[in-house]
Amino acid sequence: MYFINIVDGMYCVVNTFSNLIVAKFSRLVDATNYIQTAQGIPTQTPQNYGQFFGLPLTNASGSCGGHDHNHNRDYSNNQNSNNFNGSSNFDSSSIEKQIRELSKKIDWVLEDKKEVMEEIGILKSILTNSRNITSRREESRRNSRYEDSYDDRRDENHREDKRSKRDDRYDDDYIDERRNRREDKNSNHNVRIVSEKPKGKGFKKLMIALLTITLIGGAAVGGYFGYKYFFGEKTPSTLSDSDIQSVLNGLKENEPYANEKAAEDAIKKLNFNDQASVNNVTKVSFRAADTYDVTYSINLKAKSGYSLTDSQKGPHEVALKVSVPTPIIGSVSDMSLEIGQTQDQKVTIQNKNDSVLKAESDKVSVATVTVDTSKDTLTVVAVAEGTANIKLTYGDAKEVTFKVTVTKGLEVVSTENVQKTLDEALAGNVDPFDDNSSAINFIKKIELDKGLIIDKVEVKSTRDDETENKQFTVTVKADNGYKIKENDKTSFGVIAKIKVTVNYADIEGYKDELEKHATAFAGQYYQKEAINNLLGVSGEKYGILSQNATIVSQVPEDISENYPLTVKVEFKLKNGFQLAPGDSMDFEITLIVKGTGTPKDKEVSTSGVQVALNEIAKTTFKTNNEAIDALKAVELTEGLEIDSVEEATSSEYEFADVTFTVTVKAKTGYVIKEGDDSSFSVKTKVGEEETTPEDKEVSTSGVQAVLDEIAKTTFKTNNEAIDALKAVELTEGLEIDSVKEATSSEYEIADVTFTVTVKAKTGYVIKEGDDSSFSVKTQVVEEETAPEDKEVSTSGVQAVLDEIAKTTFKTNNEAIDALKAAELTEGLEIDSVKEATSSEYEIADVTFTVTVKAKEGYKIQEGDDSSFSVKTQVGEEETAPEGGEDSIFINYIINTYKPTK
């Protein structure tokens, strides 16, 4: 049997037989549930929470063990400190303190109010009864002959136990610390205890209370499930070794696995009778073959609600067959190196095994290759001019080959003398240049050291003086066959003197343009907009940078008509411009400004309304609403609009004439002319019955005149003329049926006759006796006269071709391709390259005939050659070392050869 006692504000569960405290709780409901569970009693409703309150006892130290329990635990090791002897020292202050704390909660925890009030009631009754019981117990203890010795022994045991249990985590210090933490936690949640509810803040209090209850409830639910997960009792797993091995053996049904990862993924997905799953997988060993065995070590972990023994946790082993994937060598891009250069290349290998990457060059005289097998990295060294193929192998992987092209390399030139050359050339030019362009053209023609040419020249900054010294930025680049030394400058600054010209601002020209602008926009803008519109006219082309305008004339207060407004225009001059003698920095302009008052309404006549309505009335409508909508949509003359349309007469027949009354009104700013009607009557047919109206007769008398008007245009092609004739808009009821070419001409420009056939549209018929076929003659120009071609010289072509001829080519085709790719001067391009001579030897001089032509818009200068002869070496044999009489002789032929005109 058990009963509940309160000590130090905690609910202590006491065993009535051993007089020992077996558990301690912060809430009464938890202590009651504990006793019910221990005694096998079903959980009771809240009104029975006080049924286990017994005699209010306390231990010698005034605490009941110092720990809050929410689950079963053996507390026999605390018997000394928890032993009761019926001491009369009842701690009523703890209950009173608990009552005060619970009373304060009422204001904030509304949903828990009922439970708290019940708990307070129970505690109050216990407090009243306990005092009487305590008095009787004290009287009984005084009559006991063992009282003194028992008390002494109890006090001594208690002191000894406190010394031995000083570090026990369930002592009173721990309880006090726990209570303080709980109070701090409550204060951190901003829970304020007030003795009186402030007026006018009930809703705020309610919302705070609801939020507090929600947070407390969420914490309680989370705590419950956390307790169940970490401290709740778990069912021991029933898995046997054979069960575990059976699940592992099931993996063999899917052998062989594509790779080791696939095997590991399959192991991780195993489920052991819903009691355990795989915790981790470790590869122990493998045996290589076409398919190889991999042994895995597996540890298990218990699923929620279960526990595993060490034996069940493992490790367990399983051997699975895994396929051996074929290695794949990644592709390697071709390389272009210069003699002496070295390049490293990382090779990617998929599905690596114990094989070793190997590389072999088919021409070690051109390029060599070595392999760093630890990093799968190639090192390619360019040895001599030519091409070598590098072959890569790796076990059973497919071979991969890439090409290495080695070139002789470009001659290195330095730009260290460029600045000096530029400065000396400009210093030698004493007279100032006429303008920037003249200076730029001069600088571009300065000759630099061999291998260097000027790429571009740009103006950088200016400085005004008697002459204007302008700084230019000159960029140089390497010529064909050369390269600039690394880290050498390519951009240089120079100063050139430019003649200063005096530019006078054209004040009168600008004033004239403003006056024309003011006239063009007269009466279209109010005052402010008119001035802004005037100032929007740019004066840059007149040497004027910005301007401002101020009103000079008197502005009328209220005027309905447009009025003149005089403004003074003041301006600043653009940089580099001066004011001419006699000119001033301002002038006056008169604007015609839109009036600020309410303008008089414009008179408009309704004389044409009836005609417009009668035209609509010719249509037969299905319903009255359809007729009304059509009449409302009539477009009247300027200033008029439909006000209303009402049915004047109706008919019981499905098809009949219906009369409508149409009222018109003047738009805003308009007034109907005095004496003109504003109400009109219109009769139209309305009915569901469809009738085929009689075709309306239409005349073709005006067709020829319309076609002749189109024929005045000169067209580029016959098709363009036909399209224009087909697009002609004829009178109502007529449309173009076809357009055919009647005559043609072989001349580039000639008169062409077309036959045009017209037809009546649906609902119309061509008037009897009228023509439906017409003839029209127009001019067609098949080709526009091209503009005069720009003349270009071929004097520099031979030098460009000779430069290319210095190269030794492997085949004639390679030489022809190189000559075709030659970049000539502006306006010229290679037309053809033909072999003039050939040789049976492996390497020989071959002559080619190169024909050039002018590009579109250019023509070759009269007297200039268009055909050139160039001789170059062609052959497969490797290039002989430089020097020797043959080399001198060949170079002499190439450099001295000049074609005959």
pLDDT attached to residue 190: 43
Nearest to 464 by CA among 492, 438, 503: 503
User: How many CB atoms lie under 10 A from the CB of residue 709?
Assistant: 11
pLDDT attached to residue 168: 43
pLDDT attached to residue 389: 96
Angle between helices 113-142 and 28-38 (to 10 degrees): 70
pLDDT attached to residue 197: 44
Q: Is residue 370 part of a domain?
A: yes
Residue 21: C-alpha distances to residues 16, 27, 64, 161 (Å): 9, 16, 6, 15
849 and 833 Cβ atoms separated by less than 8 Å: yes
- Residue 81: pLDDT over 70: no
Residue that wins the pLDDT comparison between 130 and 328: 328
pLDDT attached to residue 840: 56
Q: Is residue 571 part of a domain?
A: no
Residue that wins the pLDDT comparison between 436 and 41: 436
Q: What is the mean pLDDT of residues 762-774?
A: 90
Q: Give the per-residue SS3 of 104-116.
A: HHCCCCCCCHHHH
Q: Is residue 157 part of a domain?
A: no
Backbone angles phi, psi at 402, to 5 degrees: -135, 160
Same domain flag for 622 and 663: yes
Residue type, 495: I
pLDDT attached to residue 891: 46
Q: What is the mean pLDDT of residues 391-417?
A: 91
Single out the residue in 662, 686, 710 at which a domain terminates: 686
- Residue 860: pLDDT over 60: yes
Half-sphere exposure of 82 (CA within 13 A, CB side): 24
Residue that wins the pLDDT comparison between 846 and 891: 846
Same domain flag for 764 and 829: no
- Average pLDDT along the chain: 78
What CATH number is given to the structural domain containing 810?
2.60.500
Same domain flag for 768 and 796: no
Backbone angles phi, psi at 725, to 5 degrees: -70, -35
pLDDT attached to residue 146: 43
- Residue 774: pLDDT over 60: yes
User: How many CB atoms lie under 10 A from the CB of residue 342?
Assistant: 10
Q: What is the mean pLDDT of residues 866-885?
A: 68
Residue type, 14: V
What CATH number is given to the structural domain containing 395?
2.60.40.1080
Single out the residue in 262, 290, 323 at which a domain terminates: 323
Same domain flag for 671 and 715: no
Q: Is residue 398 part of a domain?
A: yes
Which alpha helices (H) appear in 269-409, and where do they start and end? 310-313
Residue that wins the pLDDT comparison between 57 and 614: 614
645 and 625 Cβ atoms separated by less than 8 Å: no
What's the rounded Cα separation, in Å, for the pair 491 and 505? 37
Q: Is residue 429 part of a domain?
A: yes
pLDDT above 70 covers what percent of the chain?
A: 72
Q: Is residue 29 part of a domain?
A: yes
Same domain flag for 341 and 310: no
Instruction: Report strand pairing: 10-15 vs 2-7.
Output: antiparallel
pLDDT attached to residue 53: 64
Model confidence at 105, pLDDT cuts 50, 70, 90, reads low
Same domain flag for 301 and 256: yes
Q: Which residue shows structure tokens 């006892």?
A: 57
Model confidence at 96, pLDDT cuts 50, 70, 90, reads low
Question: Domain containing 639: what range?
Answer: 602-686
Residue 527: C-alpha distances to residues 513, 562, 564, 568, 777 (Å): 20, 10, 10, 14, 56
Same domain flag for 680 and 606: yes
pLDDT attached to residue 734: 92
Same domain flag for 658 and 723: no
pLDDT attached to residue 19: 74
- Residue 559: pLDDT over 50: yes
What's the rounded Cα separation, in Å, for the pair 295 and 875? 64
What's the rounded Cα separation, in Å, for the pair 340 and 380? 10
Single out the residue in 343, 378, 409 at which a domain terminates: 409
Q: What is the mean pLDDT of residues 376-404?
A: 94
pLDDT above 90 covers what percent of the chain?
A: 25
Same domain flag for 681 and 719: no
Nearest to 193 by CA among 310, 106, 268: 106
Angle between helices 812-820 and 797-805 (to 10 degrees): 150
Q: What is the mean pLDDT of residues 231-238?
A: 74
Q: Is residue 196 part of a domain?
A: no
The three-class DSSP label of residue 220 is helix
pLDDT attached to residue 25: 83
What's the rounded Cα separation, in Å, for the pair 11 and 33? 12
Instruction: Report strand pairing: 577-578 vs 503-504.
Output: parallel
Residue that wins the pLDDT comparison between 571 and 558: 571
**What are the b/e assignments for 738-748, b being 16+ CB within 10 Å?**
ebeeeeeeeee
- Residue 211: pLDDT over 60: yes
Same domain flag for 333 and 403: yes
pLDDT attached to residue 123: 73
- Residue 492: pLDDT over 50: yes
Model confidence at 60, pLDDT cuts 50, 70, 90, reads very low
The pLDDT tens digits of the residues spanning 633-686 come to 999 988 899 999 998 776 655 567 899 999 999 998 788 999 999 999 999 988
Query: 642: part of which helix (H) or strand (E)?
Result: strand 640-647
Q: What is the mean pLDDT of residues 786-803?
A: 85
Bond into 315 cis (ω within 30):
yes
Q: How many structural domains comprise the chain? A: 7
* 450's tokens: 């061999």
Residue that wins the pLDDT comparison between 96 and 54: 96
Same domain flag for 386 and 459: no
Q: Is residue 226 part of a domain?
A: no
Most confident of 138-152, 830-844, 872-886: 830-844
Query: 470: part of which helix (H) or strand (E)?
Result: strand 468-478
The three-class DSSP label of residue 576 is coil
- Residue 393: pLDDT over 90: yes
Most confident of 146-160, 181-195, 397-411: 397-411
